[in-house]
Structure 1
Amino acid sequence: MNAKLRKFTEVGSSSTSDSSNTRRAELSVAVYVGENGYVQNAGFVHQPIAALEKRAMTGPVAIILHRTDGASVQSALNSANSGIGTHFYVDKDGTVYQTASLHKHTSHVGRIRSRCYEASNCPADEMEEIRGFGWAPKRLHDHEKGKPYPTRYPMNEDSVGIETVSRCVKNCGPNDKGTPEWETPTAEQAESIANIISILQDAYSLTDTDIYEHDLISYKTAGEGAGLWNASGDE
Structure 2
Amino acid sequence: MTLYITKDGHVDAERIKVKIFSGIERGTMSAINGIVVHQTNSPTANATFNSYSSTTNGGAPNGAHFLIDKDGTIYQTASLYRATNHVGLMQSRCIITRQCHPTELKHAQSLERIKIVSNKAKAVHLNEVQKAWPGRYPSNADSIGIEIVGLAIGPRNREVYEPVNDAQNSSLKWLINQLAETLEVSMHEVYRHPDIGRKNPTEASTAKW
One fold, TM greater than 0.5?
Answer: yes
1:157 aligned residue (141, 149, 155): 141
Q: CA deviation at 1:140?
A: 1.2
Distance 1:86 1:30 in 2: 21
Trace 1:3-82 onto structure 2 (pairs within 5 A): 31-81=3-53, 82=55
Q: Output the amino acid matched with 1:159.
A: S
Q: 1:87: which partner in 2?
A: 65
Q: CA deviation at 1:56?
A: 0.6
Trace 1:1-235 onto structure 2 (pairs within 5 A): 31-81=3-53, 82=55, 83-133=61-111, 134=114, 135=117, 136-170=120-154, 173-174=156-157, 176=158, 180-230=159-209
TM-superposition CA deviations, 1:177-200 (whole Å, max 9, x none):
xxx532222221111111211221
Distance 1:151 1:223 in 2: 26
Distance 1:126 1:30 in 2: 38
For the residue of structure 1 that corresponds to 2:144, the secondary structure is strand
For the residue of structure 2 that corresponds to 1:212, the secondary structure is strand
Distance 1:167 1:87 in 2: 19
Q: How many residues align?
A: 197
Cα root mean square deviation, aligned: 1.9
Distance 1:30 1:224, change over 3 A: closer
Q: CA deviation at 1:30?
A: 7.0
Distance 1:102 1:226, change over 3 A: same
Give ranges in structure 1 of 5+ residues lacking alignment: 1-28, 231-235
For the residue of structure 2 that corresponds to 1:85, the secondary structure is coil
Which protein has the larger Cα radius of gyration, Structure 1 or Structure 2?
1
Q: Whose RCO is larger (CA < 8 A, sep 6+)?
A: 2
- C-alpha contact 2:35 2:191 (8 A) present in aligned 1: yes
Q: CA deviation at 1:126?
A: 2.8
Please identify runs of 4+ aligned residues in structure 1 that moved more than 4 A. Answer: none
TM-superposition CA deviations, 1:120-158 (whole Å, max 9, x none):
444333333223321422221121122221221111000
Give ranges in structure 2 of 5+ residues lacking alignment: 56-60
For the residue of structure 1 that corresponds to 2:27, the secondary structure is coil
Distance 2:29 2:176 in 1: 17
Distance 2:103 2:185 in 1: 32
| Structure (1 or 2) with the greater strand fraction | 2
| Farther-moved stretch of structure 1 (72-81 vs 181-190) | 181-190
Q: CA deviation at 1:108?
A: 0.5
- C-alpha contact 1:88 1:96 (8 A) present in aligned 2: yes
